Structure 1
Amino acid sequence: MFWKKRFSFDKIPDLSGKVVIVTGGNTGIGFVTARELARKNAHVFVASRTSERGERAVELIKKETNKDAVEFLQLDLKSLNSVKLAAETFLARKLPLHILVNNAGIMATPFEKTSDGIQDQFGVNHLGHFLFTLLLLPTIKASDSARIVNVSSMAHERAPPAGIEFEKLNDPNALNSFQRYYQSKLANVLFTLELNKRLSGTNVYCNSLHPGIIKTELTRGVVADWGSWIKPFVYISTFFMITADDGALTQLYCATSPEIEEKNFRGKYFVPYGEVSEPIAQGKDEELAKKLWDFSENLIKEKLGDDVFSKSYA
């Protein structure tokens, strides 16, 4: 699929004074996003699971942009305790938060559970970001003209007929690895839908997007689950993929373009390169979005205690 490139790095406005967190900012489109935001003078936190890869990305961004306001933030989305600690670590800095890019993700990985006993693609791609966002929300709302960007995928269009199979979430035989990925990407769209409703009347612009089919490390999960025989097919498919630089453009548009505010884009779904599109019907199902929110909130309370949200999204 080919899209008209209506947004580019040079259209990113000056971001002096803006504070940003990019999850998965150590690699792929997350790295490009963090790099370009830093280049435009934002104070950028690269949220990554390992300090080795995160710190390496920070140093590379500093070198490529000649900017020093880039920091590493420890965030392991496979652990709700790590997510909570990451939010608390950032909040302890008493900084505003103008842009949150929920970019990190895994794709089509072998069935596995997180440290909290939750199916990992749902846990990493949706639940970890759900918790991280809500813990940071009071600070986001208190910041001047803020953005929340949830990176989904056109893969959400192939989610199960039920949308989210809540009761079968931890059943390794219910869905294959790709179907679990599709389901998690629909969850990103639904989370955006419900969060945007709850942000009514605030200065926070929350949107989701499909970044494109991109040549990144994301395909490693496919090989891990399906075996080395699939490597030639993955390699051939890369000829039809866009670069990480191009793949980052849509989330950079959602995170920085003045058009978001000028056109009051809230709760929208974007495709490359900054075009408003429509998710499938399930992605616009307000009842399903509310059900996902309640399910996610209750699941986190079950794992971390009822008081985990006592100071969040007030």
Structure 2
Amino acid sequence: MSTEPTFSFATTAEDVATTFRDEIKGKNVLVTGTSLNGIGFETARVIAKYANLVIITGYNSERLKLSEEAIKKEIPEANIYPLVLDLSSFASVRKAAAEINTQPEPLHVLINNAASLWVDFKLTEDGLETQLATDHFGPFLFTKLLAPKLLASGTPTYTPRVVNVSSVAQAHGAVDFDTLATPNQAKYSKRGAYLQAKSANVLTAIELSKRSKGKINAYSLHPGMIFTNAFQNEEAIAIWQSRGALGPDKKPNPASAHPWKTIPQGAATTVAAAFDPRLSSQAGAYLDDSTVANHLIAPYNSDPVNAEKLWNITEKIIGETFTF
């Protein structure tokens, strides 16, 4: 008798990919933000064992090459396509999307994993705050431009997916609609911008699923507390030390109320969101520990009025309108 797979805090990306290898086979997947020693790389690595094609992205071509070589060394038969992409630049996003759109293959899954965390206030070349540009506006535009590729993969038995890697931080944030198009340095804080971005990730997944009317299923998720470069920022270190997550040595505190995950554990929920067939009837869901956890979404971020408002403002800012 077959049993439904069950996942937990300790589940790894490898576990999930092995469980859903039949769903991954033949799929073309794009993962943004795939530098070594990150959850995006781990996501791409385990998917590459079974997928038809894995497109990996990064804004630094040399680091992107290292990721490609590492995957190919472990999995010589993997079909890896490196794509230079700077999500903070609309021009770079358009160039990267145009490159993918010239390829003959459809796109089954888009994983918006890349993020800019805890950075000082700075405007992008498009006049937007860098953290929100990289974490929300860039991925939104990229998703819009690749939507035809995603729609081309749909069949009567398969619905393409978009996965937004958010954070438990969404529960503490709310989008400041007044400063999206006109950033206000006086009101800026690194943590505040991060919370807004993670809130936007959840709202966008909900609204994308709604507007596509069954043609694209979008999900958002909390990967877990993972000790990455984001915790090397002095301001972030001070905040997490005050909460007991980091010790005096600036390393993860084993006794933290917020338990730490390894990178393989942190990438697990992303792979589940991309391939767990049980999610097909739960478009717009939010996942934690590789399972649906909609009860953890802050009321602000599950409010359809906020989701629609953010969508409309974002389309105006990027100068692009979604069509399905």
1:3 to 6, 9, 29: 9
1:285 is displaced (CA, Å) by 1.0
**Structure 2 letter corresponding to 1:185:** K
Aligned twin of 2:164:
150
Q: SS state of the match for residue 91, structure 2?
A: helix
1:283 aligns with 2:310: no
Percent identity, please.
Answer: 33
CA distance in 2, matches of 1:33, 1:212: 14
Of 252-261 and 51-60, the range deviating more from structure 2: 252-261
Aligned twin of 2:220:
208
CA distance in 1, matches of 2:247, 2:112: 31
Runs of 4+ in 1 over 4 A off after TM superposition: 224-227, 230-234
CA distance in 1, matches of 2:75, 2:235: 34
Structure 2 residue runs of 5 or longer lacking an equivalent are: 1-7
Aligned twin of 1:305:
none
Pair 212,86 (structure 1): closer, same or farther in 2 beyond 3 Å: same
1:288 is displaced (CA, Å) by 1.0
After superposition, the C-alpha distances for 1:192-245 in whole angstroms (9 at most, x for unaligned) are: 11111111132x22111011011222324x337779xx8965833364421110
Aligned twin of 1:59:
69
Across the two proteins, how many residue pairs are aligned to each other? 297
Are the aligned partners of 2:172 and 2:195 in contact in 1 as well (CA < 8 Å)? yes
Are the aligned partners of 1:249 and 1:274 in contact in 2 as well (CA < 8 Å)? no
Are the aligned partners of 1:208 and 1:268 in contact in 2 as well (CA < 8 Å)? yes
Structure 1 residue runs of 5 or longer lacking an equivalent are: 302-307
After superposition, the C-alpha distances for 1:128-181 in whole angstroms (9 at most, x for unaligned) are: 00000011112201203211111110101111xxx2112234112213211110
CA distance in 1, matches of 2:129, 2:149: 29
Aligned twin of 2:229:
217
1:268 aligns with 2:285: yes
CA distance in 2, matches of 1:225, 1:157: 18
**Structure 2 letter corresponding to 1:3:** F
1:4 is displaced (CA, Å) by 6.1
1:13 aligns with 2:21: yes
RMSD: 2.3
1:25 aligns with 2:34: yes
Aligned twin of 1:304:
none
Alignment of 1:135-284 (within 5 A): 135-144=145-154, 145=158, 146-159=160-173, 163-169=174-180, 170-202=183-215, 204-220=216-232, 222-223=233-234, 233=248, 235-237=250-252, 239=254, 240-261=259-280, 264-278=281-295, 279-284=297-302
